[in-house]
Chain A
């Protein structure tokens, strides 16, 4: 059961649910070139050796600022881009690895689907709504008649009357309606996992609430597992069972939603939380938690990547690449030298390792 912990040296308890997705030391670098001779100008460390797992039936929220690698992670899981290193196991079988232990990409796509942020760009403007939803099932071998029937069922399920909407084209719908279509299309292959990459971020708040309610209903009804990627911490908190915080291609902190929001351990997560605008005009934010912009993920410096903006950075943070260690509860892990007893950081001591 704890094989997925190989890379992090932390054993999980035996009664934990089975991981449906197991990500091991996944890495993606994008080389940058410049000039007419394509001289190598640096490397974007988009996703840098990250390992995590997703349990069946849970929602794992992924948060972080631009350049943190959350969308690249989603695209790597879907194999929309090829990883440079690392493996992704779906039910213990390696994605895009040779049979009998591997899993072909076609089968992966049947089990795992994705909804993107831009509801318009992700629909073919020349296909009717019904044809867009039926497209995937037809490719996967379902007879056209049945595929269309399924499309109409799904349309009704996401709250768009099939008799009114089935024959329309994407440009005839509002943003919220198009995102419902994208959700219906993602469900057309009856997947078990749905990756939602900023799926509600472009929607107005009143429409966002409708779509979030729909996502929760669908999850319950079809027993789905979600990877919910967003920059909106309030929404992630509402949707997720566990939350993973990323910073410049690395996992900063991962754990149950209560631990991330109630027992925040990583200085970056703390900064993110206190950067949220106050909803109470009587208690306005007085001081920004961080200065400057997130640094570029091109050729990041060695050591902890957050140290350039961290209030608590010391020499040790430049020397060591922090590994995920247990903070508080066994399933709450943090990559920070302060939390690692005897790391040499002046704040690192067993006594404060558990104080958040």
Chain B
């Protein structure tokens, strides 16, 4: 099974409130997702297995799924809300990865329990890479994340199938792991590129009325792109939190001809600092107001947003004097 996160590859992120805006024209497979699918196809060839692709997403990802169907694999799409007129998701699905993992597992239940689940290790729109770990938990499978190579070992008679995988370590080292099944692996977008579908596969994927088994592929497409299997949305609860990222403040370069003075100016070594201010606001909205006031006083915000105020922060807020909110 391959889990794909199909989304805008270049989503616009509001630098102030972190809202992710996706353009439906930008949807595509990330290199990591493409690599996951390619690994899956190679392993399925080696084991004479079958590949099922599952994806949570709105209808706008269907052109990408059609390209995936062209490769002769089965595709399941779990529908996700509608995109609204501004192509914005109201809910940030990725913020509850555990619910997402449960949804994915439920969606593929009709196909039986997968021996191997492959995912890309990152997505372009704030993915945290935690879904594979939750999937492993839900399936009771072993996990190996962030891999650069996945090779199916040829099984000796009677011995269980295993995978030989590699991942990067610090300092240019790599570690090699042997993974037993069932397993969940996430792969980097490196080393392999997704193969291109054959012309007949691509044509078959566009066929509005596919005849059963007409594609002649080993794993007959059970779902055409025109009518992919869609599973129920499951129980996905999405919290209201959003990260707050202040705008970068651009400072003029020091102009003094003396390099030493410039260095001192840059490091701020001789500048007197305000002592850190510890604030004890009574409630969350007051804390937010204080933070916003601080940021705008120090030139990080052009204007204080009225309607798009960042979410409340609980507890004490410590702000130090050099313009960084911590």
Determine if chain A interacts with chain B. no
Interface, chain B (partner A; CB < 8 A): none
